[in-house]
Amino acid sequence: MRKPLSELLATAGRAAASQTLHSWLISQPSVACLSSLSRSSWAASADFSGTAGSIPLDVPALKQQQPVPVPSTVGGAAAGGAAAGGAAARGAALPSPAAAAAAAPAAAAGGHGSTVNQQEAAKFAALAGEWWDPAGPFAPLHAMNPVRCRFLRTALCSAFGRDPTQPGPLAGLSLLDVGCGGGLLAESLARMGAHVTGIDVNQGGIATATAHAALDPDLHARLTYRTASAEQLVAAGECFDAVVASEVIEHVASIPAFCSALAALARPGGGVAISTLNRTPRSYLAAVLVAEHVLRWVPPGTHDWQRFVTPEELAAQMEESTSGGGGGAPLRLQLLSGMQYNPVTGAWSLGRDTAINYIAWFGKPPGGASPGVAHG
């Protein structure tokens, strides 16, 4: 149901402080994109038929019905948080809210195995189609993927001493993609030669990713997907050459805990890559006003501008949460790049302008604890 713009803008102002809309952060794309105007699919996916019929969702009810375990850094304090998806921890992906809404009543139906399976199987096809459909609701992500991969290639090659002009430069590296969603980024990294483990708390996304990876015999061997959270992997003591968290951090409840989890998963000599949205007036304009309310590409309330992180804050946060304690040396910001979208050409590019989207690489020093470094 469309509301007049003035009402929406008023609502947006209130919504920023409103916990109901906060809590409805079911993993929405946090990519500001001004591409083509064919976004009618959003109107369909925003119609939560079956549960609430309009936005905002009745999140506390969903939370009870959602079988997926909610990791501690996600959802957490802020009013029921993104519990319903748990998928808030999953990156820029966008599981169809309609699917989430449909899966919830199925789960609440009392765990009849056949009913749940049928529901999920039926929704699986829809999810799969949407995830990997370059013209579907994840189109902004598909358009942005080559650019963030280019940055990651540069960062990883310089960190591990590889030649970026050769094909398959990441051969032999083990990477972790936190919040991998449907596997968009994980597959690209695997194509560059790396062994990638993708984790997400959203089972639907993991199933899609696994199915898509099975199509390609070359990639299949280098991709592993699991339904898990970063904390669970830390608890299991796993370690990777590098960790990537793309379009995730703006959805977690506790950034310090998330940062230290990411850093703990990276081995010394490796590092962590994070991409997210900046908190600037321009990003408010682009990601909140234009994308949500003017162009209506994502439902209003998708992005909580207050939760965006500036590069300076992120760098400070990474240093603080990784220095001291048993964590070893603090992670330092080594590479930073903005990702800009050109609405005329419809192309993304890397550049210096970090005002809206940016991507950063933090290197973990090799060896043990660093000689006394004062943080801050």
Partner 1 sequence: MAAAAAAALRRRAYTTSMPPSAHVDMAIVGGGMVGSALAAALNANPLTRQLRILLLDRQLPLALPRQVPEWDDLCVSTLTAPTVDILRELGVWRSLSVAAAPFCDMQVWGADDGYVRFDATSVGQAVMGHVLEDSLLKAALHDQLRARGSTVQLLMPATAVAADLPPYSPAAQLEGGSFVRLQLDDGSSITTRLLVGADGCSSQVRQWSQFRCSGSEREQASLVATVATSWPNQTALQRFLPTGPLALLPARGGFSSVVWSCPSQMAAQLQALPPHELAAAITSALTSGTHYPPKPRRYVRPRVALVGDAAHSGHPFGLASQGVNLGFGDAKVLAAAIADAVATGQDIGSAAMLERQYERPRRQACSAMLSAADALRAIYMPQEGPVAGLRSLGLDLVNNTPLLKQTLLRIAMHGL
Q: Which of 78, 211, 289, 290 binds partner 1 (CB under 8 A)?
A: 211
Q: Does 157 bind partner 1 (CB under 8 A)?
A: no
**Least Å distance between CB 41 and partner 1?**
13
* Beta-ladder partners of 174: 195
- Joined together, the tokens standing for residue 63 give 């939370």
Q: Which of 161, 167, 237, 368 binds partner 1 (CB under 8 A)?
A: 167
- Nearer of residues 164 and 256 to partner 1, judged by Cβ: 164
Q: Does 190 bind partner 1 (CB under 8 A)?
A: yes
- Nearer of residues 191 and 293 to partner 1, judged by Cβ: 191
Q: Does 44 bind partner 1 (CB under 8 A)?
A: no
Give 248's contacts (C-beta < 8 A, 6+ positions apart). 89, 90, 91, 92, 178, 179, 258, 274, 276
**Number of H-type helices and E-type strands within the chain:** 14, 8
In whole angstroms, give the CA distance from residue 266 to residue 244.
10
Using CB under 8 A as the binding rule, the residues of this chain from 82 to 141 that contact partner 1 are: 125-126, 128-129, 131-135
Q: Using alpha carbons, select from 340, 311, 12 the residue that is nearest to residue 151.
A: 340
- Joined together, the tokens standing for residue 238 give 């796993």
Strands 174-178 and 266-277: unpaired
Q: Does 171 bind partner 1 (CB under 8 A)?
A: no
* Beta-ladder partners of 359: 275, 337
In whole angstroms, give the CA distance from residue 304 to residue 297.
15
- Nearer of residues 190 and 206 to partner 1, judged by Cβ: 190
Q: Which of 4, 113, 217, 237 binds partner 1 (CB under 8 A)?
A: 217
3-class SS of residue 76: coil
Q: Using alpha carbons, select from 32, 10, 12, 8 the residue that is nearest to residue 250.
A: 32
Candidate ranges 5-13, 104-112, 144-152, 327-335; the one touching partner 1 (CB under 8 A) = 144-152
Q: Does 63 bind partner 1 (CB under 8 A)?
A: no
Do 296 and 264 contact (CB within 8 A), yes or no? Answer: no
Count Cβ atoms below 10 Å from residue 195 Cβ, excluding itself. Answer: 18
Q: Does 168 bind partner 1 (CB under 8 A)?
A: yes
Do 106 and 116 contact (CB within 8 A), yes or no? Answer: yes
Q: Does 197 bind partner 1 (CB under 8 A)?
A: no
Strands 174-178 and 332-342: unpaired
Radius of gyration, CA atoms only, the chain:
20
Q: Does 221 bind partner 1 (CB under 8 A)?
A: no
Q: Does 155 bind partner 1 (CB under 8 A)?
A: no
Site string for partner 1, 5-24 (x = CB under 8 A): --------------------
**Least Å distance between CB 151 and partner 1?**
10
Candidate ranges 37-45, 75-83, 163-171, 306-314; the one touching partner 1 (CB under 8 A) = 163-171
Q: Does 79 bind partner 1 (CB under 8 A)?
A: no
Using CB under 8 A as the binding rule, the residues of this chain from 224 to 253 that contact partner 1 are: none
Do 229 and 217 contact (CB within 8 A), yes or no? Answer: no
Q: Using alpha carbons, select from 242, 198, 195 the residue that is nearest to residue 219.
A: 195
Q: Which of 63, 90, 123, 191 binds partner 1 (CB under 8 A)?
A: 191
- Nearer of residues 10 and 135 to partner 1, judged by Cβ: 135
Candidate ranges 21-29, 42-50, 183-191, 352-360; the one touching partner 1 (CB under 8 A) = 183-191
Q: Which residues bind partner 1 (CB under 8 A)?
A: 125-126, 128-129, 131-135, 142-143, 145-147, 149-150, 153, 164-168, 187-192, 211-212, 215-217, 346-347
